[in-house]
């Protein structure tokens, strides 16, 4: 069994800080769960362009308010506590934080912990990472 406390993990290298957001990765690829699990904080008045081409992601809003825009359709969905979205088509999206938002996120395949967003909003796949270091 794996038990981890967000309040401790947020003060370790599990916390990743970026422009407009931070994320505490409570489960990573190395935990061999088949998914990774993150608590992501999106800051107020932020607009983020993400496109996880190599990962499926599901996100549940725990606190805060904002919206998600499906770039393919232009459709905008309000986000508030209780709302879940799943990027089941690797959907390119724009996340807007109206207030600070706390989001619980699952990634399949799991994030390894070393990813940074590339210019196109994606994270590299495991194959691309292996090819780059070969």
The footprint of ligand 9YT (CB under 6 A) covers: 16, 23, 25, 38, 40, 50, 59, 103, 105
Smallest distance, Å, CB 61 to ligand 9YT? Answer: 9
Q: Which residues of 44-68 are buried (b: 16+ CB within 10 A; e: fewer)?
A: eebebebbbebbbbebbbeebbbbb
Q: DSSP 3-state assignment of 125?
A: coil
Q: Which residue is nearest to ligand 9YT (CB)?
A: 23
Contact 93, 57 (CB under 8 A): no
Nearer to ligand 9YT, 5 or 62 (CB): 62
- Rounded to a whole number of angstroms, the minimum distance from the CB of residue 43 to ligand 9YT is 12
Nearer to ligand 9YT, 25 or 134 (CB): 25
Judged by DSSP in three states, 11 sits in: coil
Of 97 and 134, which has the nearer Cβ to ligand 9YT?
97
């Amino acid at each position: 069994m794996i038990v981890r406390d967000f309040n401790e993990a947020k003060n370790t290298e599990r916390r990743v800080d970026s422009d407009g957001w931070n994320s505490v990765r409570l489960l990573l690829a190395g935990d061999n769960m088949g998914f990774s699990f993150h608590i992501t904080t999106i800051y107020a008045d932020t607009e983020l362009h993400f496109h996880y081409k190599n990962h499926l992601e599901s996100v549940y809003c725990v606190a805060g308010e904002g919206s998600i825009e499906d770039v393919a359709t232009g459709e905008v969905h309000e986000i508030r506590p209780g709302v879940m979205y799943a990027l089941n088509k690797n959907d390119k999206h724009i996340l807007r934080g109206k207030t600070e938002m706390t989001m619980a996120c699952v990634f399949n395949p799991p994030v390894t912990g070393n990813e940074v967003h590339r210019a196109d909003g994606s994270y590299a796949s495991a194959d691309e990472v292996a090819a780059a270091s070969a």
